[in-house]
């Protein structure tokens, strides 16, 4: 039997077997931790699967409209409810005790197969949602590069790995030259476009596995695991020359950079960032549109 037919058959059987009742909007059907002692068919209205936070805040995980079946997993595995369910509107539902539901599935194994396929679809959807939310949490929305929080977390991890393995690690800090003047001359919209374009160049120039992030404002940073100072300097020079040669909607854009390496230039995270930032400052002082990697 096709999955859609099996699900339709389940809905009809639950409607026949169940005890029909009404729920007013806001009524809690189940709370997280309640026993899984029944299956519910939504006949009219909308139910919401929600998670209640420790301070009373509520997050809606899913909305279930007419024709939805819920509670079947807890009835099958015997575990308590994993989330709370409440009525988002006035609802009419059909309630079937767990024992009757399990007996129904023994008689109609094709319905069990359909339910398992439905659960697989829900898991895929939730996995995709979690992935998208995680990506948004670690990404700068304008440049699509990693954000400062994710960069800092990875820098700590990679430094620890480098200490254990003896591998080198390099940082390059970049800053768009005279960006305030560019913004003042052409407007914030063009300034944002320039930031996004520089982000594209950085992402396209780096090696697979490099962590390239927006450090803040018009500053960027690249974390190159396994790269020596000379290798990082070559990468930085590639970025500099690519930005200088790139076409921008308004004006010309250049970028300066400072390089620092572990363990050659610094032994700690803060010292490494400070050395890269200091070399960036020297690049600015020396006339901009250049890379400084020399140690003092």
**pLDDT > 90 in the chain, percent:** 65
Residue 282 within a domain:
yes
Q: Is residue 158 part of a domain?
A: yes
Residues 166 and 287 both lie in one domain? yes
Asked if residue 215 is part of any domain, the answer here is yes
pLDDT of 55 reads 64
Which of 138, 162, 185 marks a domain boundary? 138
CATH for 283: 3.30.70.270
If asked whether residues 98 and 168 sit together in one domain, one would say: no
Catalytic residue, chosen from 38, 110, 218, 231, is: 218
Same domain, 15 and 118: yes
Same domain, 90 and 223: no
Residue 139 is classified by DSSP as B
Q: Could you report the per-residue pLDDT of 204-239, keeping only the tens digit for each?
A: 998 888 999 999 999 999 999 999 999 999 999 999
Evaluate whether 195 touches 176 at the Cβ level (below 8 Å): yes
Examine residue 274 and state whether it is found in any structural domain, yes or no: yes
Answer yes or no: do 158 and 63 share one domain: no
Position 143 in a domain: no
Domain C-terminal end among 138, 167, 188: 138
Question: In this predicted structure, what is the pLDDT of residue 295?
Answer: 67
176 and 279 together in one domain: yes
Please count the structural domains in the chain.
2
User: Torsion over CA of 83, 85, 86 and 90, rounded to 10 degrees?
Assistant: 160
How far apart, in Å, do the first and last CA atoms of the chain sit? 76
pTM over 0.85: no
* Residues 121, 192 within the same domain: no
**Residue 1: predicted pLDDT:** 53
CA geometry: angle 247, 253, 257, nearest 5 deg: 125
pLDDT, tens digit, 9 for 90 and up, residues 5-31: 777 888 888 888 889 999 999 999 999
Are residue 134 and residue 157 in the same domain, yes or no? no
In a domain, 196, yes or no: yes
Quote the domain boundaries for residue 276. 148-292
Same domain, residue pair 72 and 187: no
Residues 156 and 245 both lie in one domain? yes
Active site residue 218: yes
CA gap 107, 102 in Å, rounded: 9
Task: Return the CATH number at 38.
Answer: 2.60.120.10
Backbone angles phi, psi at 29, to 5 degrees: -80, -50
Residues lower than pLDDT 50 in the chain: none
- Give residue 228's pLDDT: 94
Q: Which of the listed residues 138, 171, 203 is the one where a domain comes to its end?
A: 138
- Which candidate, 141, 28, 264, places its Cα nearest to that of 272? 264
Integer angstrom CA distances of residue 130 from 116, 123, 126: 21, 10, 6
> 134 with 165, same domain?
no
Torsion angle, alpha carbons of 201, 203, 208, 214, to 10: 140
Are 153 and 284 within one domain? yes
């Amino acid at each position: 039997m096709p999955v859609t037919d099996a699900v339709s058959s389940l809905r009809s059987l639950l409607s026949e077997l169940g005890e029909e009742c009404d729920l007013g909007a806001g009524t809690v059907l189940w709370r997280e931790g309640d026993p899984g002692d029944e299956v519910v068919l939504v006949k009219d209205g909308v139910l919401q699967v929600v998670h209640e936070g420790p301070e009373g805040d509520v997050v809606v995980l899913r909305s279930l409209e007419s024709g939805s079946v819920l509670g079947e997993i807890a009835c099958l595995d015997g575990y308590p409810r994993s989330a709370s369910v409440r009525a988002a509107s006035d609802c009419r539902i059909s309630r079937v005790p767990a024992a009757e539901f399990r007996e129904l599935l023994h008689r109609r194994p094709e319905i069990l197969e359909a339910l398992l396929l439905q659960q697989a679809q829900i898991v895929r959807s939730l996995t995709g949602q979690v992935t998208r939310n995680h990506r948004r949490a670690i990404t700068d929305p304008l440049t699509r590069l990693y954000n400062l929080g994710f960069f800092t977390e990875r820098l700590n991890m990679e430094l620890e790995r480098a200490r254990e393995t003896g591998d080198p690690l390099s940082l390059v800090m970049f800053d768009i030259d005279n960006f305030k003047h560019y913004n003042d001359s052409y407007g914030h919209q063009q300034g944002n476009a320039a930031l996004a374009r520089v982000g594209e160049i950085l992402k396209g120039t780096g090696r697979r596995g490099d962590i390239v992030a927006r450090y803040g404002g018009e500053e960027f940073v690249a974390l190159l695991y396994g790269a020596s100072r000379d290798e990082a300097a070559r990468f930085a020079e590639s970025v500099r020359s690519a930005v200088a040669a790139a076409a921008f909607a308004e004006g010309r854009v250049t970028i300066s950079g400072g390089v620092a390496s572990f363990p050659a230039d610094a032994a700690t995270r803060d010292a490494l960032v400070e050395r890269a930032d200091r070399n960036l400052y020297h690049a600015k002082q020396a006339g901009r549109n250049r890379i400084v990697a020399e140690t003092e």
